[in-house]
Amino acid sequence: MRNLIALVYNELLKTVKKKRVLVVLLIIAVLIPVFTYAQYRTVQTTIQQMGTSDWRSILQQQIIDNQNRLSSNRMPEEWKKLVRLNIQQQQYYLDHDINPMAPGAPTFVRKFTEESISLFLPLLVVVVAADIVSSEHSAGTIKLLLTRPIRRWRILLSKYLALLLLVSLIVVATAILGTLLSGIIFGYGGWELPVFTGFQEINGEMITDQVHLVPQWQYILMSCGLAWFSCTAVATLSFMVSVVVRSTAAGMGIMLASLISGSLLTQAAPSWTALKYLAFTNLRLTDYLSGTPTMIEGMTLPFSLAVLSIWSLASLVVAFTVFVKRDVLA
């Protein structure tokens, strides 16, 4: 056991020394101010256009605008359903006098987590995960590593555990940096703000029986947990690719391409229901928390968790089998 801890620690150090983690943290630190400013601009433009900063008027206007979008003939039926559910949810917030977008660093982090769970966070994870095994091949250090008197599966396990730790680090760092940096503009208040959760969708109707309020800090904690699960699944798949494909660049390319097509496909063909069995269409776990309707019918939290877990387990089996059996040549 001590042996394994030492191995994991060793792997962690390697990634840090290789500056991969630093790069990822830098990306986060640069992009979050950009997003903060974008958000700030949007809010300012809305206030300017509406001539009021009263969120109730703004929300009411958004509801009407959404209703008007519904009357467009060119809009596909699936989108219309989404918009209709969205209207019902907005109306619910309005009826209960709760501002879903109260300004503040916590609101920013909550929205940012929801937006970044399907693409931004997974991309960062891929950057770290894609080279965790393959870089040993390209640097030639794999031979040194394997000549130690440790079984191969333990070496791979230690790499996997180190990867899980790094994924957690990335998610938490995003939340912390997001809070610190966006708070400069939006202020640090609003942790206790109530947020609705528990919206359910049945046959195109928003069911509000189980809707309840949670304080925003709890909501953020829960979304980060869900984001962590998505990222872990992405990390596991990248890990497998990293074992199988020995070139880091190719591995990263494969992962990026599949991630992006995963998120594009759901929007391009929401009626193609078989898509829901792919791993990368199930990444948006926070949607189940916020009640955002899913594009493809028949997706629930247990379903998405099951799909992600099955893909992850399969990847692990492939990764370990390949790594243990493979001939390592010069």
Partner 1 sequence: MRIKGNPTWIAFSLFSLFSLFFLIAGFGWAIKDILHPPSEGLSLKKPRQERGNSTETALLLTLGDSLTRGTGDPDGQGYAGRIKESLRKEHSRISAVNLAVKGQTSDQLKDQVRQPRVRRLLKEARWITLTIGGNDLFQNSGQSETIDRKQSEKARKRYQKNLKTILSVIRKENPDTPVFLFGLYNPFGDLGQKETSNQIVGEWNRTLTETTEKFDKVVVIPVFDLFQLNPQAYLYSDHFHPNQKGYQRMANRLLQAMEENSEEVSAGAR
With beta carbons less than 8 A apart as the criterion, state whether 280 and 263 touch. Answer: yes
As measured in angstroms, the least distance from the Cβ of 45 to partner 1 is 14
As measured in angstroms, the least distance from the Cβ of 122 to partner 1 is 15
Residue with Cβ nearer partner 1 (254 or 288): 288
Q: Helix (H, G, I), strand (E, B), or coil: what is residue 285? A: coil
Burial class (CB in 10 A: 0-12, 13-18, 19+), 309: middle
Residue with Cβ nearer partner 1 (232 or 242): 232
How far apart are the C-alpha atoms of 117 and 23, rounded to whole Å? 19
Give the residue carrying structure tokens 């393959």: 134
Residue with Cβ nearer partner 1 (255 or 289): 289
Residue with Cβ nearer partner 1 (45 or 57): 57
Residue with Cβ nearer partner 1 (213 or 322): 213
Residue 249, number of CB atoms within 10 A of its CB: 12
With beta carbons less than 8 A apart as the criterion, state whether 131 and 254 touch. Answer: no
Angle value at C-alpha 13, between 12 and 18, nearest 5 degrees: 105
Residue with Cβ nearer partner 1 (19 or 96): 96
Residue with Cβ nearer partner 1 (168 or 258): 168
As measured in angstroms, the least distance from the Cβ of 270 to partner 1 is 22
As measured in angstroms, the least distance from the Cβ of 158 to partner 1 is 13
> Hey, which residues does 214 pair with through a beta bridge?
195
How far apart are the C-alpha atoms of 67 and 65, rounded to whole Å? 5
Most distant CA atoms of the chain, gap in Å = 72
With beta carbons less than 8 A apart as the criterion, state whether 75 and 224 touch. Answer: no
Give the residue carrying structure tokens 């966006």: 182
As measured in angstroms, the least distance from the Cβ of 165 to partner 1 is 4
Q: Helices 152-186 and 20-50 meet at what angle, rounded to 10?
A: 30
As measured in angstroms, the least distance from the Cβ of 210 to partner 1 is 4
Residue 196 host element (H or E): strand 194-197
How far apart are the C-alpha atoms of 314 and 330, rounded to whole Å? 29
Binding site for partner 1 (CB under 8 A): 9-10, 12-13, 16, 50-52, 54, 56-57, 60-61, 64, 67-68, 71, 94-97, 164-166, 168-169, 171-172, 197-198, 210-214, 218, 221-226, 228-229, 285, 288-289, 301-302, 305
As measured in angstroms, the least distance from the Cβ of 115 to partner 1 is 17
As measured in angstroms, the least distance from the Cβ of 283 to partner 1 is 14
Residue with Cβ nearer partner 1 (53 or 321): 53
